[in-house]
Amino acid sequence: MGISCTSENRTLIVKITGEIDHYSANDIKNKTDKEYKRLNSKNILFDLSNVTFMDSSGIGVIMGRYKNAAANGGKVAAVSINENIKKIFELSGLFKIIKYYENPEKALKEFSFGR
């Protein structure tokens, strides 16, 4: 599992590689929370283009970051989700609170209009 964070217009962009499971969830949560505060972010954008597997721990990670961002008036979105991960989002109800975009540029554009 790998995680990298960048920022653009107060949006933390979290790119995850590999599996999001019980073993990696805590690392993802901690790094995302640390960078969200350090960069004074408002929104979070999860780039899941290189995620090969996600279980309920991944759902928990995303839900927790959603709650943090919402408490700051921010939004959370996901981009570049493969079909297997998309099914997990649908079955868990994540798409009811988190928007999906085909690419980061579309998400960042919408986030910038919502400021």
User: What pLDDT digit, counting tens, does each position of 59-92 carry?
Assistant: 999 999 999 999 999 999 999 999 999 999 999 9
Question: Is residue 114's pLDDT more than 70?
Answer: no
Q: Give the largest CA-CA distance in the chain.
A: 36
Between the alpha carbon of residue 29 and those of residues 23, 33, 65, 104, the distances in Å are 11, 6, 8, 20
Partnered with residue 8 across adjacent β-strands are 11
Domain count, the chain: 1
Q: Which residues contact 47 (CB under 8 A, 6 or more apart)?
A: 13, 14, 15, 16, 78, 79, 80, 104
34, pLDDT greater than 90: yes
CATH number of the domain within which 90 lies: 3.30.750.24
The DSSP-derived string for 87-112 is HHHHHHTGGGTSEEESSHHHHHHHHH
pLDDT digits (tens, 9 = 90+) for 47-62: 999 999 999 999 999 9
Domain residue limits at 36 = 2-113
